[in-house]
Amino acid sequence: MPTPATVFQTDARRRTTLPGVIPPNETFTVEPLEDGTFRLVPMTLIPSHQLWAWRPEVQEAVEKALQEPGISLDSPEGQAFMRKLAK
């Protein structure tokens, strides 16, 4: 069942208090829609020094690496590998 609409008003500085169903300290974008309404869209901010990881070629390389067979660190082979690194 959809949440019932909540009425709220902005103050002289265009601030408002959002309904309690929205968690505190969340980041949103406000998207104006063609019908004159607005949509709040939750988002995560990425620090600029980490933006390189979100380039398409980096994401493709990560996806490719995840598909490659490998050994688990929990397996006997993985534990032997870690012991060899520790030496």
Q: List phi, psi (to 5°) of 15.
A: -100, 155
Q: What is the pTM of this model?
A: 0.46
Length of the chain: 87
- Judge whether 73 and 82 are in contact, CB under 8 Å: yes
CA–CA separation, 55 and 27 (whole Å):
22
Instruction: Collapse the DSSP code of 80 into the 3-class scheme (helix H, G, I; strand E, B; otherwise coil) and give the result.
Output: helix
Query: Is pLDDT at 1 greater than 80 in this prediction?
Result: no
- Residues 26-40: pLDDT tens digits? 899 999 999 998 898
Domain assignment present for 63: yes
What is the count of structural domains for the chain?
A: 1
**β-strand 27-32 against 38-43: which pairing, if any?**
antiparallel
More confident site: 72 or 63: 63
Query: Is pLDDT at 2 greater than 70 in this prediction?
Result: no
Task: Give the structural domain span for 76.
Answer: 48-86
- Judge whether 8 and 16 are in contact, CB under 8 Å: yes
